[in-house]
Amino acid sequence: MIIASTSTIHGGNYLEYLFPTLESHFQDCTEILFVPYARPGGISHDDYTLTIRLAFAKINKKVKGLHEFENPVEAIENAQGIFTGGGNTFLLVKQLYQNNVMEVLAKVVENGKPYLGSSAGSNITGLTMQTTNDMPIIYPPSYKTLGLIPFNLNPHYLDADLQIKHMGETRETRIKEFHAFNTIPVLGLREGSWLEVVGEKILLKGNLTARLFKQNEIPEELEPETDLAYLGK
């Protein structure tokens, strides 16, 4: 699995900063199955899939949208590799449950099918979607997600701006509120960082540190190449 904080970094094109990683990650795939359910900005499944098709064309991969298949469970079972894009996590989770693909998606990725997630598509690899930054625009049947890593993610992690005069909660305050009621560790993954999950290892990649929050503990900054698998032990 490649689990990215964001699809796009400032000044770059869609997925561009990840192309070298993706070329090796998807080396055995000629076609990627794209899960368009998160619909950023409310765009249609077709429009979203077209964007992804154009991006993956640059590394010579074809793309099919999951919505193009009559049987989405079979489509996931038969896929060579899978990419779930960002958008709204509530919508994504609702659609995954509604189409009965949450379970099969977890199963095939656990069995080694190459998976890429960005933003909302990364969020769902955690135990629950409860540390998303998104608005609850739709009511999902559960907040439980794929559970492919033994913690939760906060993608697009943002440090508090000490200059700002806005009184809304900082990201750190929100995660602290989460930990008033939940014991699951939370990894704040900054834009430009990603996790590379191979075998038993969960490695932090990119040039930045990531911020790890645990219940009743002071948050810590993790260096690139840290293996986070220990959180599941």
Q: State the nearest-atom distance from the C-beta of 175 to a second copy, in Å.
A: 8
Interacting residue with a second copy among 92, 175, 189, 202 (CB under 8 A): 175
Query: Which region among 23-31, 34-42, 50-58, 199-207 touches a second copy (by CB under 8 A)?
Result: 34-42
- 46 catalytic per annotation: no
Q: Which of 5, 7, 119, 193 is catalytic?
A: 119
Tokens at residue 111, please? 């069995």
Could you say whether residue 29 binds a second copy (CB under 8 A)? no
- What is the SS3 assignment for 139-170? CCCCCECCCCCCCEEECCCCCCCCCCCCCCCC
φ, ψ (nearest 5 deg) of residue 3: -120, 105
Whether 99 contacts 90, CB under 8 Å: no
| Contact assessment for residue 195 and residue 228, using Cβ atoms and an 8 Å cutoff | yes
Interface with a second copy includes 151 (CB under 8 A)?
no
What phi and psi, each to the nearest 5 degrees, are found at residue 118?
Answer: -130, 140
CB-wise, 26 or 157, nearer to a second copy? 157
Q: Does 166 bind a second copy (CB under 8 A)?
A: yes
Residue 119 is a catalytic residue: yes
Kindly state the smallest distance separating residue 92's Cβ from a second copy, in Å.
11
Is 156 annotated as catalytic? Answer: yes
Q: Which one of residues 142, 217, 221, 224 is an interface residue with a second copy (CB under 8 A)? A: 142
Q: Does 95 sit near a second copy (CB under 8 A)? A: no
132 binds a second copy (CB under 8 A): yes
Does the footprint of a second copy cover residue 191 (CB under 8 A)?
A: yes
Is 178 a binding residue for a second copy by CB under 8 A? The answer is yes
Which listed residue (40, 53, 104, 150) binds a second copy by CB under 8 A? 40
CB of 60 to a second copy, least distance (A): 26
Q: CB-wise, 70 or 167, nearer to a second copy?
A: 167
Per rule CB under 8 A, is residue 199 in the interface with a second copy?
no
User: Which residues in this chain contact a second copy in the complex, by CB under 8 A?
Assistant: 6-11, 39-42, 87-88, 90-91, 129-139, 142-143, 156, 158, 165-169, 173-182, 191
Which active-site residues does the annotation give? 119, 134, 156
